[in-house]
Chain A
């Protein structure tokens, strides 16, 4: 999970220096776990049912969607880009996939997930191509895609709505299905997170994402296929958002064209709270998933102790600022440590 460090770099560096950088970076993920623990403890003291099976399963099941989409978003942000279109992709995929139950009664659920994945990948390919090949800033491209995809959604949905009565119970029961007391969804998303984490850490193309985010020009000069990697990151983000749409449909059952609007900001918040630097180059998908878990836990905790939902947003915002400020501080320190190391090596 250590991040900004490039593995091939300077094998002769002093072990203590290297450990310091590692510890600082690991501390970000560790920090979230500590905050999470304290939060759960305090809430449980006020309301013991908070740590009961039902509530824990609810939080994990709710987090699954956010964590899934956050993994893709994290990969995009690592490359110093951003994907603002994920909320619209989730909405479009939710409608198109869940609508299949109405138009093709008896359709296998696996096929519905594939339809959702396809919708997401399609959107990701378009966004990725314009950003990576057209070299247009992703902030602009994905902002445009946010509106375009939502517009397409509104046109397709038109006067329609997916009704809970058209969806089979086996589909609507997905969020409540459990294995060993843990929601299937959460376990499935944990597998996705693990695969993504392994890829980012152990594959050259995965490490490339960090290099691109640290310094795109240097990465280009070092021979990294920047456009290709960025394109891939957007396609993965789109695909995961597409799957997220199907999950959304199974959770909320009734789908209108406004489904999941504004979700993108909560996803980016999760990613940043999870310790992924907003300007790329460092962070991890495990952190992003934990960030999603933390935000969902805060939401639930405030609701369980009876704080108005209006405060939930303000508190999420406060957390975001804290995370970014901390992140900036850590970044400066790491940069200073790396510079010192380079000076010592005479580089």
Chain B
């Protein structure tokens, strides 16, 4: 509504604009300064804490990847190499064989190989693992808990807001620094933290 055509208001407008410009610049600068004081040069990545995980199977369906980046990993140093493996075998199965009807894993990703009497080694084929955590639940219930879930960083896209973390019922997911990108168990944990 300013209708004066003299040069004064123009100058005034210019002045206001310049000072606003300076204020905006200072704000961004100040904000950047505060942020840098809280920053780390390291990237943050997502990882789930297997000690909190309740194996609800949501990891297998909530990843943005069609084939979840969460896989079952196996801590050989914790494993009891059981013949009667509650992570490998269907509950109630009486025969300890490798037939599909005795396997707990829905995709056959958990492989059983004979080591020596009475020990069996269990390995995970990550290409097949869907990250449902059925075997983890079995192992946690009756075994040592050597099978557990971890997001694999060669697959993880590291979304800014992990879509699994958002839906995790036990709030087991957190941002962790890239140098400590796994939350492991047993000897693997010590080795990983040392390196």
| A and B found bound together | no
